[in-house]
Amino acid sequence: MFSSILSAAISGVNCVPVRVEADVSNGLPLFSMVGYLSTRVKEAQDRVCTALRNSGFSLPAKRVTVNLSPADIRKEGTGFDLPIAAALLCSFGFLDKEQVRGVCMAGELSLNGEVKGIRGILPIVEAAIKCGCKLCVIPKENLKETEFLDTIPILGVESLDEAMACAKKPGWGAKKNPPRVWENQEEEPEEDFSDILGQEAAKRAAVIAAAGFHNLLFIGARGSGKTMIASRIPGIFPGLSREEGLEISGIYSAAGLLSGENPILYKRPFRQPHHTISPKAMAGGGRIPQAGEITLAHRGVLFLDELPEFSRAALETLRQPLEAHKICISRINGTYEFPADFLLVAAMNPCPCGYYPDRNRCSCTDGEVSRYLGRISGPLLDRFDLCTEVKDVSADQLWNRKKGSTSLQIRREILRVHNIQKERYRNCGVSFNGSLSGKDVEVYCQTDREGERLLKKAYEKMNLSMRGYHKILKTARTIADLDNEERIQEKHVAEAVFYRNLDNKYRK
């Protein structure tokens, strides 16, 4: 007898619907599984048969064929155990076909029939919703991940026996999650911006970067506070919206990085990979591509400390995603698209010893300085909207210990600017000034006459590329929003040009 159950396979950070089909017929006893399966999926036949036997189901000796359709998509993971078991129970007559019609299942089975948690539950349930399923049966261990999905009933089960008992009830006895309000509590961060002494220009650049999602580069002497400022940027970001939170949580769910304590992400991710990272770990990949650091930093911050120490190949993988806000990874069995809309923050010393251009302390030769800075390509450097110098803290600043605005105060100001941008670009498909296309820049970044004159001078004297010109305009737009000005003025353009020109001091 033939039966089928709906499930889903993770493909990158998304899910593809998979139909688990089971056929039982007379003949020589045999258990066969087909459908472009990985080794872990093929092992499901041993887990499922043992789990069914230990759950009290005595299966007669028959010829069994299980197919996971479509057969041209490779199936990975252990999440097909539960739907395979349910399909077999339908084929052997223990479960009515009508009871599983329109039901999506996913979960791993232990040998004693327990249903164990799996990665990727959030995108699996979202795929079931898109397919019009009436119910989703998942491991109880993963149930917290779905608490904000209230479109269809979701049933969490701990064992195969519990799943069979629920199947006898109308609608499996499952209920929709009650609608929940997405709440972002204004928590005070552990590392506060007010702890930073001095460095007003660098802190100002960090605020502009967070307000408009502009890429930021810190250059300065060792121990001057570059990493300290960058590590406090997450504390001045407002929380995620419901749509952003579910999107990022889905990425982390597919990557297996969600925990039982934090099943949903409310804060923007902050990723800080070590400089020994490989290009594949940065961009994502592998034989079956998985999300890399640039995707795990989606809607958040990717911080690269000691930028010149990263391999050239790893850094160059950032160039295309910084413009397209996504990355496509091609393999022989298909092309995978990963989102990569992140804020790049980097920090670097100006030379190997860390003191250039102070020749009283710098012992590096001109050739050593040139080779050190040359590790960062011009095209990558051109993708930074802001570049600021972080100088040593003076003795007066150190001993007076005058504190500035707290992270909470800055966060409220940035939230105001974010709301201005969301309202302005409501119908444009972008949320921040830093994401504007060249065409949108001409529409939304209008300057006054003095600002336009200054832009022309900067374009000619600084030998700007078209990308650099647009980045100055987008940064000036954010500075104007911080000043609550509708039109970009000369002072906004001047500040944006200042933050764009500093790298020439070290690369001349």
Strand pairing report for 301-304 and 343-348:
parallel
Question: Do the domain assignments include residue 400?
Answer: yes
The count of structural domains within the chain is 2
- Tell me the residue range of the domain where 379 lies: 193-507
All residues at 6 or more sequence positions from 211 whose CB lies less than 8 Å from its CB, including other chains: 413, 414, 417, 418, 478, 481, 482
The distance from CA 480 to its chain's CA centroid, rounded to whole angstroms, is 29
The conformational region for residue 321 under phi > 0 = left, psi -120 to 50 = alpha, else beta, is alpha
User: Is there a single domain that holds both residue 368 and residue 300?
Assistant: yes
Q: What is the CATH number of the domain that holds 42?
A: 3.30.230.10
Question: Do the domain assignments include residue 276?
Answer: yes
Instruction: Write down the pLDDT at residue 432.
Output: 93
User: Is there a single domain that holds both residue 425 and residue 455?
Assistant: yes
Question: Do the domain assignments include residue 132?
Answer: yes
Q: Which of 295, 10, 247 is nearest to 124 (CA)?
A: 10
User: Is there a single domain that holds both residue 346 and residue 479?
Assistant: yes
Question: Do the domain assignments include residue 183?
Answer: no
- CA atoms 25, 26, 31, 34: torsion sign: negative
Q: For residue range 461-479, list pLDDT tens digits in order.
A: 888 889 999 999 999 999 9
User: Is there a single domain that holds both residue 122 and residue 198?
Assistant: no
User: What percentage of residues in the chain have a pLDDT greater than 90?
Assistant: 63
Give the Cα separation of 40 and 56 in Å (integer).
Answer: 25
Instruction: Write down the pLDDT at residue 462.
Output: 86
User: Is there a single domain that holds both residue 321 and residue 284?
Assistant: yes
**pTM value?**
0.91
Token pair, residue 297, equals 């930093």
In the predicted structure, residue 269 carries a pLDDT above the cut 90: yes
In the predicted structure, residue 453 carries a pLDDT above the cut 80: yes
In eight-state DSSP terms, residue 199 is: -
Q: Using an 8 Å Cβ cutoff, are 269 and 294 in contact?
A: no
Angle at 477 between CA 474 and CA 483, to 5 degrees: 150
In the predicted structure, residue 394 carries a pLDDT above the cut 80: no
- Other Cβ atoms less than 10 A from the Cβ of 26: the count is 8
Mean pLDDT of 34-60: 91
Q: For residue range 439-451, list pLDDT tens digits in order.
A: 899 899 989 999 9
Give the Cα separation of 121 and 7 in Å (integer).
Answer: 11
In the predicted structure, residue 398 carries a pLDDT above the cut 70: no
Question: Do the domain assignments include residue 185?
Answer: no
Give the Cα separation of 231 and 489 in Å (integer).
Answer: 31
Instruction: Write down the pLDDT at residue 503.
Output: 54
Q: For residue range 105-154, list pLDDT tens digits in order.
A: 999 999 999 999 999 999 999 999 999 999 999 999 999 999 999 899 99
Question: Do the domain assignments include residue 186?
Answer: no
Give the Cα separation of 190 and 374 in Å (integer).
Answer: 36
User: Is there a single domain that holds both residue 153 and residue 257?
Assistant: no
Question: Do the domain assignments include residue 179?
Answer: no
User: Is there a single domain that holds both residue 449 and residue 375?
Assistant: yes
User: Is there a single domain that holds both residue 240 and residue 142?
Assistant: no
- Which range, 135-139, 357-361, 386-390, is most confident? 135-139
SS3 363: coil
Let me know how long the chain is.
508
The CA radius of gyration of the chain, in Å to the nearest whole number, is 28
User: Is there a single domain that holds both residue 131 and residue 159?
Assistant: yes
Tell which of 145, 173, 201 closes a domain: 173
Q: What is the CATH number of the domain that holds 368?
A: 3.40.50.300
User: Is there a single domain that holds both residue 369 and residue 309?
Assistant: yes
Mean pLDDT of 38-58: 92
DSSP string, 148-179: T--SS-EEEESBHHHHHHHHTSGGGG--PPPP
- More confident: 359 or 248: 248
User: Is there a single domain that holds both residue 156 and residue 251?
Assistant: no
Q: For residue range 298-330, list pLDDT tens digits in order.
A: 999 999 999 999 999 999 999 999 999 999 988
Instruction: Write down the pLDDT at residue 179.
Output: 83
Q: For residue range 166-212, list pLDDT tens digits in order.
A: 998 888 888 888 888 887 766 777 788 888 887 888 999 999 999 99
Tell which of 114, 140, 173 closes a domain: 173
Tell which of 140, 173, 206 closes a domain: 173
User: Is there a single domain that holds both residue 211 and residue 139?
Assistant: no
Question: Do the domain assignments include residue 178?
Answer: no
